[in-house]
């Protein structure tokens, strides 16, 4: 794993005032002349203006991607050459590490340590797929006698890649790297709130030698150009990360032309702490599990179940450490929890907490909007622990997407599994126990795509990431993602000396 040292401070700004669309290898202003303004959620200040794509621009991007795929050279390159370009993308990203970190912080309000980790992972995604693609190939299959059968993995074609605001660069890397490794052409639609790093990634792809039209980046409204991409007949696949309701809408629309679809959606991930757990590790892991990225993570462990005989000890440590979490300047190394993405999200979080209080829940930490000193105009919410809840409450059932965790006691393994699985989602989950047999037994019974056993982290390049149930389908970040950007072609040949005459005529 790479470690990238960084001593960036807020004063050494690298950001530009204006960012362009990237279509067919060109940086351009949108045809409508409209722009998106992006704001720093920590301060409420304007960060930059970004060209806003219209349907006309989306049409140009689709045509460019289509042309580069149908008639271009990228998919024809020897695989080693594509791998070389992916490694070059990673190298340029590394050389522009500070810029990417700064933009990610300014656009999202996330803390320095979170942004550094995510930019590092985005770089490593390109390196991972540069390696993985070399081993991605078809098979030779057993067939009778004088037949011969082999399969080829062919790139699927033109892929629309729709990105959320919570991990803008990392989600873009999760999608762009495997797609172009296989030989696809892509149109990236970043979230309107956070388009900057995806644009810079598009520029870097060009600089690294990705041919024009293979990577296009078009910020713009989801309901307008996002939807346009989904419905367009010349788009072969949609890879979407975002909320479950929009995922359902996309799946319905993509079915019209039977586009390939992968959906990485929301979650309400459980974390189960057994009495035989290392309590300190479980406390620290649970803090990270919910408060990392200000709780704005699809796999945030937002439902915490603690076995009754250690409940008091666990909670006293968990509450005490939650109250010590630092909010404030996201560029400060000492800041643990960054800002909330915008006023709407802040109000949503607050609404959930207030409704839980009205329903009789108890707040053990946080519970309010807040204003760290010097950041009064930004969007902030206190790290919040809620107890005295039940599974009928919205705060337990629905994804809040903020620094809010609900905590319940459980009696035994059976009850813990039942509670953990009592959700429409199935993305992440965690088990804390020193008993390996128990941890394995429980991991096997949890209906979720990811189980973290005594581990605060959900994924590294190479580990599959994706959901069960209404958390979506398809796996990113792993070898099998390459298959999701490929079609398998079966070639069956006959080499017998006698001509075949199956109809006997
Ligand atoms: P969102 O509102 O669903 O938006 C996601 C993306 O879809 C944005 O680019 C948005 O564009 C676009 N979009 C909106 N409406 C669309 C439409 N009708 N057709 C096509 N595209 C459309 O989600 P978000 O609020 O940005 O992100 C938070 C959600 O993402 C959470 O639910 C979280 O759990 C989920 N998430 C899941 C994963 C995972 O791997 N499972 C990872 C990260 C996040 P605009 O920005 O212009 O609206």
The string of pLDDT tens digits covering residues 54-113 is: 999 999 999 999 999 999 999 999 999 999 999 999 999 999 999 999 999 999 999 999
Q: How far is the CA of 87 from the centre of ligand 1 (A)?
A: 28
The pTM (predicted TM-score) of the whole model is: 0.96
Q: What is the pLDDT of residue 13?
A: 59
Mutate to test the pocket of ligand 1, among 54, 222, 424, 474 (most ligand atoms within 8 A of CB): 222
Q: How far is the CA of 112 from the centre of ligand 1 (A)?
A: 23
Instruction: List, edge to edge, every strand of the sheet that includes 384-387.
Output: 362-365, 384-387, 404-410, 303-307, 270-273, 430-432, 452-453
Query: Which pLDDT tens digit goes with each residue over 330-381?
Result: 999 999 999 999 999 999 999 999 999 999 999 999 999 999 999 999 999 9
Q: Which residues are catalytic?
A: 264, 298
Q: How far is the CA of 502 from the centre of ligand 1 (A)?
A: 53
**Mean pLDDT within 113-123:** 98
Q: pLDDT averaged over the chain?
A: 96
Instruction: List, edge to edge, every strand of the sheet that includes 185-189.
Output: 26-28, 21-23, 215-217, 185-189, 158-162, 237-241, 260-264, 472-473
Report the nearest atom of ligand 1 relative to the CA of 190: 9
Q: How far is the CA of 190 from the centre of ligand 1 (A)?
A: 9
Q: What is the pLDDT of residue 114?
A: 98
DSSP 455: -
Residue of minimum CA distance from atom 17 in ligand 1: 223
E-assigned strand segments in 115-164: 140-141, 147-155, 158-162
Supply 272's token pair.
């189960």
Percent of the chain with pLDDT over 70: 97
pLDDT interval class at 299 (50, 70, 90): very high
pLDDT interval class at 184 (50, 70, 90): very high
- Indicate if ligand 1 lies below 6 Å from the C-beta of 481: no
Q: Can you give the length of the chain in residues? A: 505
Mutate to test the pocket of ligand 1, among 36, 162, 164 (most ligand atoms within 8 A of CB): 164
Residue of minimum CA distance from atom 8 in ligand 1: 191
Residue of minimum CA distance from atom 41 in ligand 1: 264
């Amino acid at each position: 794993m790479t470690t990238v040292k960084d001593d960036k401070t807020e004063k050494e700004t690298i950001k530009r005032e204006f960012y362009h669309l990237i279509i067919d290898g060109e940086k351009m202003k949108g045809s409508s002349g409209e722009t998106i303004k992006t704001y720093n959620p920590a301060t409420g200040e304007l960060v930059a203006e970004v060209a806003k794509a219209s349907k006309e621009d989306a049409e140009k991007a689709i045509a460019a991607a289509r042309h580069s795929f149908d008639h271009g050279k990228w998919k024809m390159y020897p695989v080693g050459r594509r791998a070389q370009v992916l490694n070059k993308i990673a190298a340029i990203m590394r050389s522009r590490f500070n810029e990417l970190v700064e933009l990610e912080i300014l656009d999202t309000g996330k803390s320095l340590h979170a942004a550094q980790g995510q930019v590092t992972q985005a770089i490593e995604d390109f390196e991972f797929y540069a390696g993985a693609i070399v081993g991605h190939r078809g098979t030779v299959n057993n067939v009778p006698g004088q037949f011969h059968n082999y399969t080829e993995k062919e790139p699927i074609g033109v892929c629309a890649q729709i990105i959320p605001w919570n991990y803008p660069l990392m989600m873009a890397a999760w999608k762009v790297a495997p797609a172009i490794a296989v030989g696809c052409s892509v149109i990236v639609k970043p979230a309107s709130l956070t388009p900057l790093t995806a644009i810079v990634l598009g520029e870097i792809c060009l600089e690294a030698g990705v041919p024009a039209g293979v990577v296009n980046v078009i910020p713009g409204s989801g309901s307008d150009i996002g939807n346009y991409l989904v419905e367009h007949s010349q788009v072969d696949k949609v890879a979407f990360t975002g909320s479950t309701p929009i995922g359902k809408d996309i799946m319905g629309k993509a079915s019209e032309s039977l586009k390939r679809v992968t959906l990485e959606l929301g979650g309400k991930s459980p974390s189960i702490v057994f009495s035989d757990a290392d309590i300190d590790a479980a406390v620290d892991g649970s803090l990270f599990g919910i408060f990392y990225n200000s709780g704005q993570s699809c796999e945030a462990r937002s439902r915490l179940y603690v076995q009754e005989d250690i409940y008091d000890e666990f909670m006293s440590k968990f509450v005490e450490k939650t109250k010590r979490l630092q909010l404030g300047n996201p560029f400060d190394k000492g800041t643990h929890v960054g800002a909330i993405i915008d006023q709407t999200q802040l109000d949503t979080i607050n609404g959930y907490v207030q409704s839980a209080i009205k329903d009789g829940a108890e707040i053990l930490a946080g519970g309010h909007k807040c204003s760290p000193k010097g950041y009064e105009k930004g969007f902030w919410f206190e790290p919040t622990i809620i107890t005295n809840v039940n599974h009928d409450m919205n705060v337990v059932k629905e994804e809040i997407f903020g620094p809010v965790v609900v905590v319940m006691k459980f009696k035994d393994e059976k009850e813990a599994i039942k509670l953990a699985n009592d959700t429409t989602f199935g993305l992440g989950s965690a088990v804390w126990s020193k008993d390996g047999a128990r941890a394995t037994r429980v991991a096997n019974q949890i209906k979720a795509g990811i189980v973290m056993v005594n581990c605060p982290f959900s994924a590294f390049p190479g580990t599959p990431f994706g959901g069960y149930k209404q958390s979506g389908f398809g796996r990113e970040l792993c070898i099998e993602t390459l298959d999701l950007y490929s079609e398998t072609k079966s070639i069956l040949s006959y080499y017998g000396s006698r001509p075949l005459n199956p109809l006997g005529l």
